[in-house]
Amino acid sequence: MDPCLRSAVELRSALAVGEVSAVEVLEAVLGRADRLAGPINPFAVRLDERARSAASAADADLTLGGGGPLCGVPVTIKDSHYLAGVSAASGSRALEAFIPAESSAAVERLEAAGAVIFAKTTTPEFCYFGITDSPVNGRTSNPWDLGRTPGGSSGGAGAAVAAGLGPLALGGDGGGSIRIPAAFCGLVGFKPTFGLVPREPCAVGWKTLVAYGPMARSVADARLMLRALAGWHPRDRHSLDVDALDTPVADPHGLRVVASEDLGFAPLDDDVRAAFRSVVALLEDAGAQIVDDTTGLGSSVMTWSTIATAEARHSEASSFEHHHALLGEAAAEFMAHGGRVTREQYVSAQMAREPIHRAYVDLFDRSGASVLLTPTLGLEAFAHGSAHPRRVGGVPIEAPWLDWCGFLYDANLAGLPACAVPVGFGDDGLPVSVQVLGPRGSDGAVLAAAEAIERLVDFSARPTELETLEK
């Protein structure tokens, strides 16, 4: 079987018994990247020679019967992630000269686990948006339909994994940036409990919003990567330990799930609603106990955007004030919006995070459920040429960083673990997804429930667009 299409779990097993070498796997991935990356444009930086050295080292470890849990497995990281000595432009001309001297703790852990990092993936400028199109790298396309976005900000990561360009990618999620491209690209995307994956050193903005986490084609692969990433680190004051990452796959029989198709406020298209209801029916048929409840909260998009835009403006003050001419229009507008946020508005938004967290605590206490199930997004991937969809579920959408991601922001504001899982296709033949969300620290239970859903729906399709590109 083509190593590019094997799971990370399968690859690691094959590498361990000598069925294939790390160098052979890497060369297959690099060759596939040479053929497919052009029309998709998932990579900001290729690291071929660095990766070849890492693959050779992995083979040496494997020959001696050693190597970490990801030894020899090809992996990508985002352009925004710090890898010592490699550009971290984050899609901005204002940062093109920036080369970090140190690697992020998460990236160090990947390399310590034996992962072969062969590329950095594209992002929108400063990772601010839910599409991937930047002044530095241009537009990234969805492997399912090259005329549509893969989402963002981890759009290059999602496109790469969906296209078979590495089974794993490290994403970052400050407002849905793992879960959006996972949903649009038919992948599993896991945003851990805030702090579970250490990030420092990293970009100075969104310090209490962003979580790093895995993007993969299966929950098992995401779990494998998370094991290598997770845990306390002395350099990151937010880092923490969470037990039970290896929680067994949940038996749907007796699994108690709160299901909410719109959280009382979020717009969604009819095809997404139908797919969500189908998943709920599958769970019920398998013996799960479905509870109809919600947090009682309204949309948190204004709370999120107040914090996100204000921190963007002030964390990137040098870029805004001294390199304004280098900024793309969308990034400049985003920062300018943040400059109009008052101190009182910013403090109020930060204070609003506690009642959001408490509402989820109360929901799980009240219902006795281990997870909350919602759609991930209310729509399929939309066409290039617009910064955001114009309507979702018949509701007009006014701002590019607001309403169409309404299911996602609470997990960032409250630091909750959340997993996007593909469950079928919408009317346009593109993937649709559900989100499994749990209390802080319940990462293992969330992954277990996500894997139970994955087994029920058996989403195993590959992007049809690749059939043409592969010829």
Active site residues: 78, 153, 177
The set of residues, in sequence order, having a beta carbon less than 8 Å from that of 216 and lying 6+ positions away, is: 7, 8, 161, 167, 168, 169, 187, 188, 222, 225
Which amino acid, one-letter code, is at 113?
A: A
Nearest to 120 by CA among 176, 169, 164: 169
The C-alpha atoms of residue 171 and residue 168 are separated, in whole angstroms, by 9
Nearest to 352 by CA among 417, 413, 298: 413
Cα-based torsion angle of the residue sequence 4, 213, 240, 208 in order, rounded to the nearest 10 degrees: 160
Handedness of CA 216, 445, 199, 150 (dihedral sign): positive
Which amino acid, one-letter code, is at 193?
A: T
Place of tokens 């390399």: 111
Which amino acid, one-letter code, is at 402?
A: L
Which amino acid, one-letter code, is at 355?
A: P
| Contact present, 148 and 130 (Cβ < 8 Å) | no
